[in-house]
Amino acid sequence: MPSTAPPSAPDSARDSDTATPGSAPGNPQTWRDHYASRPWLRHYGQMPTQLPVPQYHNLVEMLVESAATYGTRKAFTTVTGNGMNGSMTYAQVDAQSNDVAVYLREHLGLPPGSRVAIQMLNSLSYPVAAFGILKAGCVLVNVNPLYTAEEMVKQFNDAQVETLLVIDLFADKLAQVVPRTPLKHVVISSIAQGFPVIPKFIVHNVLKYWSRMVPEVKLPGDMQAVSFPQMLRTGNHLRKHASIEVKQYWQHLRGDDIAVLQYTGGTTGIAKGARLSHGNLLKNVDQLDATARSHMDEGKEVMLTCLPLYHIFAFSVNLLAFFKAGGHNILVPVPRPIQKLQRAIENYPITWMTGVNTLFNAMINEEWFWRHPPKHLRAAIAGGAALHESVAKRWEEVTGTRLIEGYGLTESSPVVTFNPLEGDVRPGSIGVPVPDTDILLIDDEGQVVAPGEPGELLVAGPQVMQGYWEKPEETAKTLIDGWLHTGDIAVMDDDGFLYIVDRKKDMVIVSGFNVYPNEIEDAIAKIHAVQEVAVIGVPDSNTGEAVRAYVVKRGEVTAEEIIQHCRQHLAPYKVPKQIEFREELPTTPIGKILRKDLRQEYLEAHPENQP
């Protein structure tokens, strides 16, 4: 962390429980003025530079109003790879989430603020469960379904989770998890929850008996799991026969109450729960709405949701913001192999979609996609990982629409910057800050850097988290004087557009020179025969570190050809010394390439090279 504090954040951003007054560093006045003048505002067009106070006191007010406005319109449709699907209207989601809220509060007796975990793939169960938890006045804890039992134990213990809503495909780990955690209640759902009777029967039997993907669930002792339909029936019975008014659970919630604990590895690799308040998420929804309003027809848009809703990107953009706008979400439980998206794209008038670089890259290399791209698409939004220029260019050639890159992180709910939907395209840029958001770039001494110089990106705004759950020391390291230290290295040009250079921890130092993997990956990705690429630094006795590239091919190319290509586009010290070809690269569930796994694998295979 820098030894000198940056300027204090604006008052609107300094609501963190760790914020303390700070003093501005002694940089040349022109550098400070560059940020203070907010040069990015000139690119806002008709968009407001400041947003009004959110019209809602909490997220539930927003959800209830949208449900009332768009009641009979389809809100969610789950599309499976075999073509079976099921849908729910806004009114149905509203009613069933009320049943969930009553079940949690009345049947289970959970007090307000209880942490309730969701561990599900994209399905009709997810929004019902998520909205029900919020309506109950509880705190939603998103959990990756692919987590190992050990990872589940750590997260459940950290958040003190007593209630879990889990999808049946991954419930076999519960026998190992329950005895080591505070878990007392388990509700089990399925991909086909909410489907019509016949499709539901078919999907269930295919998964359970044909592909054997649904395991037997065994819980320790006398503990019994409850099915999702049983939970809804119980909650509905209590709500109607006891005349329970669900509003009593959430009407007193305010902006600073915690809505979601969203776990992230952050810059240290230690799992931390970002405390995202109702106010944080409401403000980010308003910021998203402001950036896209000119291209949105409320109540008529259709969003393809491939990214998992438990990820903060899809949670805020696809789930919350799109529900507010009256959109129809097409949920894809598992987008791999990529052919599983074909039915969704062919059968629904997709106008928007979100994704990561690897997803878009895979799509434009599918013959069915580039021969018949979505006819109604307005734009696609990329986040979660760096977007390669070659992918963005090819996407526009294939679809005739822009692939818009933005930037965010879990700790900022998540959106920080966006690329305007109109105007000049800025290749490689993550755009400009969203309204009511300030940024700074600082060096290792905490000094503000000049335009065009790389520095760590700091963010201040009302979407920035309150802090990490039960981790005051980690919070103090990350939130300093109201500024969120992202750990990302960026450059800002004179127009206020930002360019991410790389993660601070991923930077490679070759003979004292800073080398950023993103730059090398982008250069290699321009080779037509390259499908995917990842770059890491490995120990080297001569240069300290050496650049090593992992490449997945889609055509014929040799290591020497890749090196020669890099020599034409990069400085000599940036050219990879080592090339390794792979069939695939390790990725997160949303498709973000895991450099850390490649680095760990290399060090384990080459202990003699470890520093």
Share of the chain above pLDDT 90, in %: 66
Structure tokens at 522: 């982008």
Q: What is the mean pLDDT of the chain?
A: 89
Residue in 206, 124, 197 with CA at minimum distance from that of residue 167? 124
Average pLDDT for 466-495: 94
**DSSP string for residues in 539-560:** EETTTEEEEEEEEEESS---HH
Q: How confident is the model at residue 471 (pLDDT cuts 50, 70, 90)?
A: very high
Residue in 59, 579, 86 with CA at minimum distance from that of residue 319? 59
Per-residue pLDDT for 503 more than 80?
no
Residue pair 77/348 in contact by the 8 Å Cβ criterion = yes
Q: How confident is the model at residue 7 (pLDDT cuts 50, 70, 90)?
A: low
Q: Is 426 left (phi over 0), alpha (psi -120 to 50) or beta?
A: beta
Q: What pLDDT, on the 0 to 100 scale, is given for residue 188?
A: 96
d(CA 598, CA 448): 33
Q: What pLDDT, on the 0 to 100 scale, is given for residue 21?
A: 26
Number of neighbours of residue 560 by Cβ within 10 angstroms: 9
| Choice among 32-36, 153-157, 226-230, 441-445 with the minimum mean pLDDT | 32-36
Average pLDDT for 386-408: 92
Q: What pLDDT, on the 0 to 100 scale, is given for residue 25?
A: 40
Average pLDDT for 198-213: 72
Could you read off the pLDDT of 40-99 as tens digits, one per residue?
999 998 899 899 988 999 999 999 999 999 999 999 999 987 667 999 999 999 999 999
Residue pair 279/255 in contact by the 8 Å Cβ criterion = yes
What single letter denotes the amino acid at residue 174?
A: L
Average pLDDT for 499-522: 81
d(CA 18, CA 8): 12
pTM: 0.84
d(CA 84, CA 106): 35
Q: What pLDDT, on the 0 to 100 scale, is given for residue 606?
A: 86
Please report the domains of the chain, with CATH numbers, ordered by start residue. Answer: 90-253 (3.40.50.980), 507-609 (3.30.300.30)
User: If residue 317 lies in a helix (H) or strand (E), which one and from where to where?
Assistant: none
State whether residue 155 is helix, strand or coil.
helix
Q: How confident is the model at residue 30 (pLDDT cuts 50, 70, 90)?
A: low
Could you read off the pLDDT of 151-182 as tens digits, one per residue?
899 899 999 999 999 999 989 999 999 999 99
Cβ contacts of residue 6 below 8 Å, gap of 6+?
22, 24, 25, 440, 442, 446, 448, 458, 480, 481, 483
Q: What pLDDT, on the 0 to 100 scale, is given for residue 415?
A: 97
Q: How confident is the model at residue 5 (pLDDT cuts 50, 70, 90)?
A: very low
Per-residue pLDDT for 544 more than 90?
no
Q: What pLDDT, on the 0 to 100 scale, is given for residue 395?
A: 96
Per-residue pLDDT for 545 more than 90?
no
Share of the chain above pLDDT 70, in %: 92
DSSP state of 343: H
What single letter denotes the amino acid at residue 103?
A: Y
Could you read off the pLDDT of 118-135 as tens digits, one per residue?
999 999 999 999 999 999
Q: What pLDDT, on the 0 to 100 scale, is given for residue 115?
A: 98
Q: What pLDDT, on the 0 to 100 scale, is given for residue 528?
A: 92
Identify which has the larger pLDDT, 158 or 388. Answer: 158
